[in-house]
Chains A and B, each alone.
Chain A
Amino acid sequence: GENVEQHPSTLSVQEGDSAVIKCTYSDSASNYFPWYKQELGKRPQLIIDIRSNVGEKKDQRIAVTLNKTAKHFSLHITETQPEDSAVYFCAASGNDYKLSFGAGTTVTVRA
């Protein structure tokens, strides 16, 4: 099955700086790569996603890049704000719609 690795496990950034989280996947058949933000005790919220036919996608302060050859994808958050503090998960899926999640990154934005 798919194996998704995520780094770093924790990330502390100064407000206004950028945050980058990286993930790798093992199954070359995976074609859908979403990113989720999860606050304590709540459901994961989809913040951005990318498909394998696209190399980069941006939505305001959030961007995701995908390198299919290297099988890795990254989340970039610019101009971080305290409300960006949360746990972020990457995931990968093929046509079976099953999502395999990374271990998560706890992001802390220091005011």
Chain B
Amino acid sequence: GAVVSQHPSWVICKSGTSVKIECRSLDFQATTMFWYRQFPKQSLMLMATSNEGSKATYEQGVEKDKFLINHASLTLSTLTVTSAHPEDSSFYICRAERELSEQYFGPGTRLTVT
């Protein structure tokens, strides 16, 4: 099956700093990538939809200025958590779509803000 990678797999940062998370589709072109956040023992919550070459579409309640998304190419989308705070600590997962029945999750990035 297709492979989607995320980098880093885990990161610890200090409050107030910014963190960039990369999501790559390694063997296919993904015109659309989705970013999810998952708090411990909770479900996956869609944060935004990222389309190559255009601005991301954010879900209600997600601050676009805090969670910057850039989909620079058909194989790379980045999520930058700006001025991170402890409440941003979570598991961030991307999903790359090739077709509706061919969608692949990245392995996730564990962010801990101290």
The answer to whether A102 and B43 touch across the interface, beta carbons within 8 angstroms, is yes
A99 to B38, CA, bound (A): 14
* Interface 1/0 per residue, A70-100 and B, CB below 8 Å: 0000000000000000000100010101111
Q: How far is the CB of B19 from chain A (nearest CB, A)?
A: 18
Q: In this assembly, does A62 line the interface, its C-beta being within 8 Å of a C-beta of chain B?
A: no
Interface bracket on B: 20 to 34
Q: Which residues of A contact B52 (CB under 8 A)?
A: none
A interface residues, how many (CB within 8 angstroms): 21
Q: How far is the CB of B63 from chain A (nearest CB, A)?
A: 18
A103 to B106, CA, bound (A): 20
* Interface 1/0 per residue, A14-51 and B, CB below 8 Å: 00000000000000000010000000011111100101
* Interface 1/0 per residue, B39-82 and A, CB below 8 Å: 00011111001000000000010000000000000000000000
A73 to B32, CA, bound (A): 27
8 contacts between A and B (CB under 8 A): A32-B100, A49-B101, A89-B43, A99-B103, A100-B46, A101-B43, A103-B43, A104-B43
Query: CB within 8 Å of A: which residues of B?
Result: 32, 34, 42-46, 49, 60, 91, 93, 95, 97, 100-101, 103, 105-108, 110
Task: Beyond A41-B110, A95-B100, list 8 extra A-B contacts (CB 8 Å).
Answer: A43-B105, A43-B108, A45-B105, A46-B103, A93-B100, A99-B34, A99-B46, A101-B43
